[in-house]
Structure 1
Amino acid sequence: MSVLKKKRHVSKKNKKDWRKHCDIKDVEDFLEDQRLEERLGKFDAKPDSELFVVDTEGADRVEDVKTEIAISVKPRSAKERKRQNIQEIPKCYEILLPTSKVQDPNAKRNILNPVGFKPTALSKITEKRRAQKGILEKKVEIARKNRKIALSKKKKLKQIRNTFDTDLWGATIPEAKGIPSSLCDEFVPPEAQLHNVLPERRLRPKPPPPKTVVTRAAVDVPHPGISYNPSFKEHQELLQDVVQHEQKMMKRQAHLRRVTTGMFKKVTQQEKENQWQEEMSVGLSKPHNPAQDSDPETDNEYKAVNPPVRNKKKDHKARRKQKEMLQEKERLKRLKVEKKKITDLYKLRQLQSSISKSELRQTEERLKREAKRSEASISALPALNAHKVPRKEPDFVDPQQLTGDLRKTTSTGNLLRDRYESLQRRGALAAAKLMMKKKKRVKSYFKAGHKVTDQDVERFLTRRKATK
């Protein structure tokens, strides 16, 4: 059984309240459909031939005709195909063609060509008058004269200098750098010389050349799977890239959890107290228990604290056996060392080949690393500050949110933030670190009044506990 909601009566005194509480969705949908019909045309005005196709032949007959046409038509050459495509409009210019069906409101609009597009009758008359007066000939003469002057300047620049009176090392002289001649002395330290140089000629360190931002694309070409109506293959490729990225991030988080939180064992409070008591009592003597001192079986027997030890001497046979055993052990040890020397001599060639292979592998790896570093340095961003440039996260649209209509698409990112990060990735702006500011805790007070009830007080207290 459906529950009927109570109708809410809202004041519509002002225009703002009227707009807020009035449902005009049906009007907006009607206007949107009307605009769409203006752009694409009405279905009532279109003929049936554009909307429907009547199949007068069977599928088998169509296939037979297709095969006959394919056999009869000869394959065209590339030259013929190019000539046939000359008449067609290129795809790069299709976006410039008008797609709207809305007619021009001003039917009597004069179509004006740009200046210089086509000579008019008046322009032909003026050019004829100028040619008779000699104005055009004068312009041609001035242009020819300017070209001669430019060529003469280029020739002068290319001429070899015959005088060698310039000092190549003159720039290193202190006077050339702006240091006064009174301070050009070996007893004056360079700090004092630099202090007395004029500010505009101060010896400042030369900054590194700036990296050009022109080589990097201003707008990165997005993956085709981000489109509002992508193909299945492109969408699956993008999905695999996002899955790999997420797996990498999950693996990194698991590693951090394993080396930080997972290294420590969780114990209860009772186990912690027992461990502390056991650690603190290490080295202390155990408490004396008199019940363990008396043994009923050995009460009448006498036991010395240090019982006597019998000095049993070895006979000659035992000493001889011990000596022979030591000699045999020493002989086997020497025999093993000699055998290892012989095997090492045979292994010299193998060792030499393994060493040469390892050296060759190390040189190849070093060259690869150097090439990689050089490539990275060419395309590296300028070090504007100590912060790293944020990496671009892969965008992805859930298959349930995909729609074939641009009007129903929802924005997934912030355009301003995207442009800002793009400037950072291209090196135009310094990478910034996100600083999280602490939110100030705003204290809430209860304003007492004669209209306040107990339910209002309880509601305020519960809300305050929930926020804490």
Structure 2
Amino acid sequence: MENKQQTRKKLRISKNKKKGWKKTDITEVEEFLEDQRLQERTGGLVAEKKDEQLFIVDKAPEEEPQIQNFFTFQREKERRKIQKILKCHSHLQFDPRIKPARIAHNLRKPGIERRHERVVERIKSGKKTKTEIQAEKQRRTDRKLKRETRRKEHRLFKKSYDLWGTENTEEDLPVKKQKFNPPKHHREKPTLVSAVEIPHPGASYNPAFDDYQALIEKAHNVEVKKTKIEKKIYNALDAKFKSLDKAELEKTWLTEMSAGLADDDAVEDNDIGDLDLDKISVNPPVQREKKKTKIQRNKEKKLKQQEKLHHNDKVKKLRANEIFRLKSIKKEVKEKEKKVEQKKEERLKREAKNKTKTRKIGKMKFEEPNLEIKLTDELEGSLRLLKPEGHLFEDRFKSLQKRSIIEPRVQARRTRKYKPKVFDKRSHRPEET
């Protein structure tokens, strides 16, 4: 057993890692350090001392104490006991050989005290440096500017000029211009339609023959369009149901409304077993023989994975080969840029065309106002005898709609929520005879 204890296996630990530091044996190192500390506490290191400090040659013979009697010997023993210091307390006493640890605090750089003295002397003398003089000048100018701005703000504007004169400029007027960054389309008009349109030359009180005929043709075309729309509606509704009376319409209505009711009752009476189950169910019935096995499912999974990998490899190869087709890519990019420019030009052309038209803003569609035209019988030779047509307010209202400033509107109809009560007054009743 002893041999086994002596021949103990050494632990194979890597000391280059922090994990293995805990398992290393450091008892010898700790003992050595503890011994070194004890030596420093009790008179310094023995290795550093000289032989004269460690050893003393005792030349004088030992003198035996002269004991006169037993009582004096006992007193002397007690006195020595009191004077003798315990070993544990002797360690705490000051050792003159060990130098005290001195840590320097509040270290000052050389020349700081002298510099401080110079600053104090300069402050007492009252002299100022160039930087201080410049700072004072800057403060004075800043204060003056602040005072002037305050006076201007609180001062009333007083200037002698003619308010209704034409010679005055904008600088003379007491108006503050508000600065703001408007968007690009701020100055653009929604449409190119003029606010006040010039009327047709045929609408004059004394028009030329050709101009008058052109205006009449224009009015005729408008009326033809209206009649076509009315005829279309008539052909679709009234023309088809001319012969049917009210009684026949009621019969057809009843038959149409009662269609399918008898068939539903017949279906309810029949049993569910008679119906075809394949038609009722969404999915067809599953047979046990057609059910897939686990091996078949695994094969399908593997095939799907292989297809996926094959697809990924194909994509990677295509990306790698794209480096060699840089010329064709550049051509494609140029073609795309050309198409974009063409589309841009077309869009600008479309916008230019649409600026002459009215935009759709609300639900209603804009309708052109009726043409103000005088028939041949109504024409007069002088302007005084001519009767006015149209209304100025309506004309301006339609102009705003045409220029896409406001949405097209229709006059709201006034509807009554209740039926008006009819009764006869006593005064209006006929006298009873």
Q: Do both share a fold (TM > 0.5)?
A: no
Please give the TM-score of this superposition, normalised by the length of structure 2: 0.31
Q: Could you say which structure has the larger radius of gyration?
A: 2
